[in-house]
Structure 1
Amino acid sequence: MPPLSLKPAKTIAKCRRKNYAFKNVPKELLTEILARVGSSSLTDLVNAKVSCKEFLEAASEDYVFEHVKMDSIPLFPWRDEHYGLSSFLARCTESGNPEALFRQGMMDYFFNWQNDSGLKFLERAASKGHPAATYVYGIILVRSVGHELRNKGVKLLTDLKRSTSSLGITECRKKAYSILQPTWGRSYMIEIGPAESEVYWKKKKTCSDCKSKALRNPTQTINRWIPDTDFQDDPCSCDSCLWDLEAIKFCMMQRTGRYTLTES
């Protein structure tokens, strides 16, 4: 696959000529059009910019950078050369692009040791409806000491599960893992060891909310989470215990690259 370029195709550049078709079209409408083009294909957006002067000017608006699709941009653009990826990513982040905010939040929190900055970026991305950012931000809040922050994290994750289904949680987890999996420079959100896992299982067995759910689902068996590369809901767990366990497994994933957790 050839390297991604933010420059237009040569054939289009050579054919560039004066075009007055959009001269009288409101700039706001052109910006909306390009934002929709960019949300589908970055390549199409780059090519559209050279079709006429009006598109080129409209494409410089923050609104376009906020909505541009970033799937073709590598997570770690080691070789920038003359393609301008670094400045492009910075502009997307400044413009509030959810994917750019998510990536910057992950890098700051887990690699650059800038927790406050990382949390702010993740929170902004989550507020814009980015599923993976909501997942990671929620997990961090669940691990917080403060009762209010923890409850906020539980609510965020529960709402995310309801809106995206269990498959959606699995994809969010994989998205986070794709960024955290490199062994170089890996940072840990919190150390999780056998002692903490044992505390969880003791809490789980004495949780009144979990017992109530188990009584309402007598035909269900308690999910022991062995093994679970995919997210599995547990009809016998309350939301608090469900996300406690997911947070523990998320932290284990950072250290070992695996999700499996067995009951002690």
Structure 2
Amino acid sequence: MVSTRSMAARAKAKQMNRPSATSATMKELALCHDNVVHIACLVAATSPEPIADLLSLRATCKAMHAAAKERDVGKCVPLERLDNMKWMENERYLAIVNHLVGAGNPDACFITGVTLVFAHQDMEQGLLFLNKAATAGHKAAAYVLGLLLYKFDDARATGKKYISQVEDDGNEAATGVGVKRTNRECQQYRKIVGDVIQEATWKVGGRRGRMLVLPEDSHHCTATGCGVESGWEGYGVFCSDDCRIKHEYSKFFTEVMNYLP
């Protein structure tokens, strides 16, 4: 067969446009890595012993070793599954929490933020970590962050938004006749945050009760029955966001001030 110059040129162009074996292999490897990371995330999120199982995964092969070290995997570890380690191997637990903070784990950021604010009186850094956790959807972090921000005049509106995030009513109209707010979820997270504060501060010396000072604002409620607890669940119904957050602020700090350092 006689090969003309034009035929040779077309063949060369076709060869150049064909994906190389190396390029295809790299794409397959990237896809494979993403799948392995997804598997590691599922293990981290669902395992009753996530740290032990992630370490086992890392030992299986190079692909799993690389995947288990990804930040996305660290974000999925629920610290509530490490309760035994917290009491039996506290130093190791704290090291893991510190590592997971670097991965952006919401639970770890929440615990670190609470510890900084209430045990070390580092409000600035503590609020940063609490904000990271709340932004990731951590409701306990949103609860305490909302109350802490309520103390500051220029952040009071933001504080109320975080409390609305806890109650899942942030998309509803905040004002208007007949609008009601409850603290059904706030009750639950008040207890959770209180327990974490107590754990963070029990080793801090010189503990003393503090006098509760409710931040001043211009809102004065005149509604009958606003905030009165009713029903077997014991939650209150409030006429506005302002009344709800004032109630929660008072309740929360009244409960925790006895073990604040």
State the TM-score, normalized to the length of structure 2: 0.68
Contact 2:229-2:236 at 8 Å conserved across structures:
no
1:252 paired with 2:254, answer yes
Give identity over the alignment, percent. 21
What secondary structure is seen at the aligned counterpart in 1 of 2:168?
Answer: helix
SS at match of 1:71: helix
SS at match of 2:117: helix
Q: 1:111 to 1:188 in 2, by over 3 A?
A: farther
Name the stretch that deviates more: 174-183 or 124-133: 174-183
5+ long unaligned stretches in structure 1? 1-22, 215-220, 258-264
**What residue in structure 1 maps to residue 204 of structure 2?**
185
Radius of gyration: which is bigger? 2
C-alpha separation between the residues in 1 aligned to 2:149 and 2:197?
18
State how far apart, in whole Å, the 2-side matches of 1:64 and 1:242 are.
Answer: 37
Of 37-46 and 104-113, deviating more is 37-46
1:142 equivalent in alignment to 2:170: no
Give the C-alpha shift of residue 134 in structure 1. Answer: 0.3
Structure 1 runs of 4+ with >6 Å offset: 186-190, 228-231
CA distance in 1, matches of 2:124, 2:84: 21
2: distance between equivalents of 1:47 and 1:252? 45
SS of the residue aligned with 2:120? coil
Bigger fraction of residues in helix: 2
- 8 Å Cα contact 1:190-1:251 kept in structure 2: no
Name the residue aligned to 1:14.
Answer: none
Specify whether residues 59 and 185 from structure 1 end up closer, same or farther in structure 2 by C-alpha distance, changes over 3 A only: same
CA distance in 2, matches of 1:115, 1:76: 28
Q: 2:79 maps to which residue?
A: 70
Counterpart position of 2:53? 44
Q: Closer, same or farther in 2 for the Cα pair 1:36/1:102, shift >3 Å? A: same
Q: How many residues align?
A: 214
1:233 partnered with 2:242: no
Question: Structure 1 76/47 Cα, relative in aligned 2: closer, same or farther at 3 Å?
Answer: closer
The alpha-carbon distance between structure 1 residues 244 and 190, as it changes in their structure 2 partners (threshold 3 A), is: farther
3-state SS of the aligned residue for 2:237?
Answer: coil
Task: State the distance in 1 between where 2:254 and 2:232 align.
Answer: 12
Match of residue 152, structure 1, among 129, 135, 158? 158
Q: Residues 57, 231 of structure 1: CA spacing in aligned structure 2 closer, same or farther, 3 A cutoff?
A: farther
Is 1:90 the counterpart of 2:98 in the alignment? yes
Distance 1:125 1:188 in 2: 29
Distance 1:188 1:49, change over 3 A: farther
Pairing of 1:15-30 with structure 2 (within 5 A) = 26-30=32-36
| Cα shift readout 1:70-121 (whole Å, capped 9, x = no counterpart) | 212249946648x843332222001100000000001101001211110100
RMSD across aligned positions (CA): 3.6
